[in-house]
C-alpha cells in the first residue's frame, strides 16, 4: 500500500447489520467449501475475483479459474478420506465506500481422518476486499497468508 | 427433509439483533456446559426438545432426559481431571418465522488435562431449530455430526 | 464479587451495535498482539487498567507496565521463530451502565513454527470489564484463566 492508500484498520468500522452479513457470508462460504461444493463456493468471488496465497507463485484470477482450481483440490481430498473444516473468525471489517469493505481475519483448518482424531491442519491470516453485488457480498480480492510458510 | 420443506440456507438471513442474540445464547450455553452446570445448560432446550447425534443410535428426547444424560457426562469427566471447552462458531442463521430460526454451524472441543497441554478433542458440525420462548432463545431440535465418525 | 455486585451473566445482554463493536475491538486487539505491536495492543487498556492471570502471582497494573511487560514477551517470542495467533470468541457481553460492559469469553492460542505444523498452544477463559472512552472500548480489568493450570 502506498502512503496515500494507508488507513488505520479501525478507521471506519462497519455497522452491526453489515458485520452480521459479512460473518454469515463467511460462515456459509466456508461450509460450501468443506461440503465440496467448489462451484457454489467460487460464486462467492466476483467474476474478476482474485485469490492470492503466500504459498503460491501466482494469484488465481477469475471466478471460473478459481472454481476449477478448487474443484481439483476438493476432489483430491475426497480420495484421502479426511474431513476438513475451515474456521474463519476474528474479523475486523472497515468500510471503504457504500458497496465495499476491507476485512482482516484469522482462519484455521481442522482435519479429521475417517475413524481418527481431529487436529489442527493449518493456521492462516487473511485480507479481503468485499463488494456488494446483486444484493449479496462477494470477494473481489483475497490474500491468504499461511503461518510458518 | 422433503422437497417442500427444503430451502436454501441463506434464503432469509436473520437481522443483526437476532444474530447477536443467537451468538450470545450459544456462547452462554456452552460456558454453562463446560462449567458442569448440566441442568442450566439443558434449560437451553425446550421442554420437548430433541438432541440427536450421529454417534448415538437414538436421539435424546425431552429437557429432563437431556439434563440427566448430560449430568452423567459431566460427572464422569470430573473424575478424569480434564477441562473441555466447546467452541461453537461459523453460524449461519435463517429465519423460519417470527419466533423460529434454523442454524448451521461448526463446533470443536478443546481439552486440557490438569498440568498438561491443550489439544483438539473433537470437530463437529451442527444444525439447530431455535425458538423464541419466554423472551429468550431455546433449542427445539439439535443434530450434531461428529467428523470422522 | 460480593453478593450485591453479583448478577446473572445474561441479565442485560448488549444490543447488536455494541456486540459488533466489542467483537471487532477484540479481533483488532489480538491482531495487534500477534503482530508484535505491544504498545498499540496495550493502548486497548485504560491508563489504570489491570491485567490478571491465574498463572501469575500478581496482576500487572497500569497501561505502561502492561505494555513494557508484553514488549518483553513478544521480543522473546521473536527469538524463537514461531507465530502465535490468539483467537478470542464465545463472547457473552452484559451491560453494566451506558459506558461499561462485562464480558466472559474463551480464548485459544495456535502456534506455528517456521516451516512446521500448526498446533494448539493454550486454552483459556477470560473475563473483562470494558469501558467506553474517547469514542472507543478499552479494558479496565482483565482476568485470564489458563486451563489445566
Look at residue B12 in the predicted model and tell me its pLDDT.
Answer: 86
Measured between alpha carbons, how far is residue A67 from residues A46, A55, B2 in Å?
12, 18, 29
DSSP A119: E
Residue B23 and residue C19: Cβ atoms within 8 Å? yes
Residue B114 and residue C20: Cβ atoms within 8 Å? no
Low pLDDT (below 70) residues in chain C: 1-11
Percent of chain A whose pLDDT exceeds 70: 93
Distance between CA B28 and CA B86 in Å, rounded?
Answer: 11
Low pLDDT (below 50) residues in chain B: 1-9
Contact criterion met (CB below 8 Å) for C126 and C88: yes
Provide CB contacts within 8 A for A98, sequence distance 6+.
Answer: A132
Distance between CA C76 and CA B78 in Å, rounded?
Answer: 36
First to last CA, chain C: 22
Closest Cβ opposite residue C147 in set B23, B24, B118? B118
Which of the four pLDDT bands, split at 50, 70 and 90, describes residue A74? Answer: very high
- Give A-chain residues touching C87 at CB under 8 angstroms: 89-90, 106, 108
Distance between CA B80 and CA B97 in Å, rounded?
Answer: 43
- Give B-chain residues touching A117 at CB under 8 angstroms: 120, 148
Count of CB atoms situated within 10 Å of the CB of B132: 15
Look at residue B133 in the predicted model and tell me its pLDDT.
Answer: 94
Distance between CA C87 and CA C102 in Å, rounded?
Answer: 19
Q: What SS3 class is residue B135?
A: coil
Could you tell me which of A33, A21, A1 has the C-alpha nearest to residue A101?
A21
Which residues in C23-146 belong to E strands, given as ranges? 45-53, 60-61, 82-97, 100-113, 119-133, 136-146
Residue A108 and residue C114: Cβ atoms within 8 Å? no
Distance between CA B143 and CA B1 in Å, rounded?
Answer: 13
Is the model's pLDDT at A131 over the cut of 80? Answer: yes
- Give B-chain residues touching C125 at CB under 8 angstroms: 31, 85
Look at residue B124 in the predicted model and tell me its pLDDT.
Answer: 98
Contact criterion met (CB below 8 Å) for B127 and B54: no
CA distance C101 to chain B (A): 14
First to last CA, chain A: 22
Query: CB-hemisphere CA count at 13 Å for A122?
Result: 15
Is C123 an 8 Å CB contact of chain A? no
Distance between CA C3 and CA C78 in Å, rounded?
Answer: 45
Q: List the chains bordering chain C where 3 or more Cβ pairs fall under 8 Å.
A: A, B
Burial of residue C135 (number of CB atoms within 10 Å: 0-12, 13-18, 19+): exposed
Q: What angle do CA C93, C13, B126 make, to 5 degrees?
A: 75
Contact criterion met (CB below 8 Å) for C9 and C92: yes
Q: What's the average model confidence in pLDDT over A105-121?
A: 98
Look at residue A11 in the predicted model and tell me its pLDDT.
Answer: 66
**Residue that has been written with the C-alpha cell 439439535 in this structure:** B142
Measured between alpha carbons, how far is residue B43 from residues B63, B70, B75, C91 in Å?
7, 12, 18, 20
Residue C110 and residue A108: Cβ atoms within 8 Å? yes
Is B5 an 8 Å CB contact of chain C? no
| Phi, psi torsion values for B21, nearest 5 degrees | -60, -45
- The bridge status of strand C119-133 relative to strand C136-146 is antiparallel
Count of CB atoms situated within 10 Å of the CB of C139: 23
Distance between CA B114 and CA B81 in Å, rounded?
Answer: 6
Which of the four pLDDT bands, split at 50, 70 and 90, describes residue A12? Answer: confident
Closest Cβ opposite residue B147 in set A15, A23, A112? A112
Q: List the chains bordering chain B where 3 or more Cβ pairs fall under 8 Å.
A: A, C
Look at residue C12 in the predicted model and tell me its pLDDT.
Answer: 86
Could you tell me which of B7, B51, B70 has the C-alpha nearest to residue B144?
B51
ipTM for the whole predicted complex goes beyond 0.85? yes
- What cell was used for C99? 459506558
Q: What's the average model confidence in pLDDT over A41-59?
A: 98
- The domain limits of chain A are 16-146
**CATH architecture assignment, domain B16-146:** Roll (3.10)
> Hey, of C14, C15, C18, C20, which one would you mutate to test binding to chain A, going by the most A CBs within 10 A of its CB?
C20
Distance between CA C85 and CA C94 in Å, rounded?
Answer: 26
Closest Cβ opposite residue A119 in set B14, B120, B125? B120
Laid out side by side, the sheet with B100-113 consists of: B60-61, B45-53, B136-146, B119-133, B100-113, B82-97
Amino acid at each position: 500500500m502506498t502512503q496515500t492508500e494507508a488507513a488505520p484498520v479501525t478507521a471506519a468500522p462497519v455497522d452491526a447489520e453489515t458485520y452480521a452479513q459479512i460473518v454469515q457470508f463467511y460462515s456459509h462460504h466456508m461450509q460450501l467449501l468443506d461440503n465440496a461444493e467448489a462451484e457454489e463456493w467460487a460464486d462467492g468471488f466476483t467474476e474478476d475475483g482474485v485469490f492470492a496465497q503466500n504459498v503460491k507463485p501466482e494469484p488465481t484470477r477469475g471466478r471460473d479459474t478459481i472454481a476449477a482450481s478448487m474443484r481439483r483440490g476438493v476432489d483430491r481430498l475426497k480420495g484421502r478420506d479426511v474431513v476438513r473444516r475451515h474456521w474463519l473468525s476474528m474479523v475486523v471489517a472497515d468500510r471503504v465506500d457504500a458497496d465495499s469493505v476491507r476485512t482482516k481475519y484469522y482462519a484455521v483448518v481442522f482435519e479429521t481422518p475417517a475413524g481418527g482424531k481431529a487436529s489442527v491442519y493449518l493456521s492462516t491470516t487473511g485480507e479481503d476486499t468485499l463488494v456488494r453485488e446483486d444484493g449479496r457480498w462477494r470477494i473481489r480480492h483475497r490474500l491468504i497468508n499461511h503461518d510458518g510458510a
